[in-house]
Amino acid sequence: MAEVRAGLQDVVVATSQICSIDGQRGKLSYWGYDIHDLAAHSTFEEVVYLLWHGRLPKRAELDELRQQLTENRPVSPEIVELLKRLPPPQHPMETLRTAVSALSLYDPEAEDMSEEANRHKALRLTGQMGMIVAAFGRIREGKEAVAPDPKLNHAANFLYMLQGKAPHAEDARWFDVALILHADHSYNASTFVARVTASTLSDVHSAVTSAIGALKGPLHGGANEQVMKMLLEIQTVDRAEAYLHNLLAQKKKVMGFGHRVYHTEDPRATVLRRMSEELGRRNGNPKWFEISRKIEDLMIREKKINANVDFYSASAYYVLGIPVDLYPLVFAASRIAGWTAHVLEQYANNKLIRPLAEYVGPSNLKYVPIEQR
Ligand code: COA
């Protein structure tokens, strides 16, 4: 019997130049640039360029990309109309998945598989995704979608379109950092799914729609929302210990902890911890950070399990005023950069992804007519 690795754990399925993770040392880099360096000095737009082109842009190249992303921001009237007409979802990821899938119906290059057309689609999708999330966030509250502000960068414009007022510069910068940290993560589940779809030579929108479906699950991009729900249930630092013990006694997973690849601290959590603390303090609402810190201490002490990317993003986004059920959508609005980079890499050197399964079901059965069963 061939060796079966459940969940493809530790299986190397391909080579990729885009993103590297050292799970033992807690290092993450995009095209060789350490995530801490990018978080400290870069912007989401620059990281998008890096992911798509494999190098940092020169000034004129970055200006051009910014301009192109800005031009692609306005959500088309057809999609706004769709957002208004769709029934209220049980979870907003359903709406995002549907809207992104619908974008292909209005994309003149949807079925054009040339590299140029695929790059255009990557650009349009990256420009659009966050704006659809912001528009949906308002429409479902009975408000009008806000038109984008071309003077604002991608991160600030998202907060502006969601909240209807320009964000504080520090909030906007931290949110930009969060987008950088979420932009790619090698062969995570949703990116792998995007590549599987692309490997059949299906189109970019189909690959991204598949990825949104995979991101939605609570073991992946849905975890940050579950973390905030937990913090809201806990409410005060003094209740954290009993709450956590109760969860662990029931053998339940604590959302925002653990990782398939990192066996030490997730480097993104290191930055997001600081984001949660600083935003909490500056906005006069440090409570969520303090509860999070307490839970983290307990998890490390009792389970030796570290926080992952989804743990501190939860309290940080809460203080930024992002509705809790939109957290996974915000994740998607950043990860679209990585998904499309991987889809382009897949097309550039494609091989159909089609693994095997070890069959363990019954065999040699004889068909029994329905009356005799
Ligand atoms: N809370 C409590 N225990 C956890 C845990 C968590 N968040 N994450 C892992 N563990 C424990 C498991 O119970 C298991 O213990 P066991 O061997 O005694 O049964 C062990 O650690 C290994 O966990 P497992 O789920 O098998 O590892 P995995 O590599 O398949 O899963 C995750 C990785 C991310 C899916 C898992 O850690 C998890 O479910 N985390 C919570 C969801 C989350 O935050 N997802 C976002 C990831 S970025």
Residue 345 lies in a domain: no
Residue 210 lies in a domain: no
178-214: pLDDT as tens digits: 999 999 999 999 999 999 999 999 999 999 999 999 9
Residue 371 lies in a domain: no
State both tokens at 229. Answer: 């729900």
Kindly give the number of the ligand 1 atom that is closest to the alpha carbon of 257.
7
Predicted local confidence at residue 2, as pLDDT: 81
Predicted local confidence at residue 36, as pLDDT: 98
Which positions ≥6 away from 360 have C-beta within 8 Å? none
d(CA 331, CA 220): 10
Distance 254 CA to ligand 1 centre (A): 8
Distance 15 CA to ligand 1 centre (A): 26
Residue 127 lies in a domain: no
Active centre residues (catalytic): 259, 310
Number of structural domains in the chain = 1
**If you average pLDDT over every residue of the chain, what do you get?**
97
Predicted local confidence at residue 286, as pLDDT: 96
Edge-to-edge strand ranges of the sheet holding 33-34: 19-22, 27-30, 33-34
Kindly give the number of the ligand 1 atom that is closest to the alpha carbon of 188.
48
Distance 339 CA to ligand 1 centre (A): 24
- 288: domain CATH number? 1.10.230.10
Closest residue to atom 12 of ligand 1, CA basis: 253
146-168: pLDDT as tens digits: 999 999 999 999 999 999 999 99
Kindly give the number of the ligand 1 atom that is closest to the alpha carbon of 227.
44
Residue 238 lies in a domain: yes
Predicted TM-score (pTM) of the model is 0.96
Please identify every stretch of the chain with a pLDDT value under 50, giving residue numbers as ranges: none
Residue 352 lies in a domain: no
d(CA 203, CA 347): 10
Residue 279 lies in a domain: yes
Closest residue to atom 16 of ligand 1, CA basis: 251
Q: Find the domain containing 236 and state its range.
A: 223-319
Which candidate, 6, 4, 8, 5, places its Cα nearest to that of 188? 8
Q: What residues are in contact with ligand 1 under a 6 Å CB criterion?
A: 7, 219-220, 223, 253-260, 303, 305, 308-310
Task: Give Cα separations from 74 to 48, 64, 150, 316 (angstroms).
Answer: 19, 17, 10, 27
Residue 184 lies in a domain: no
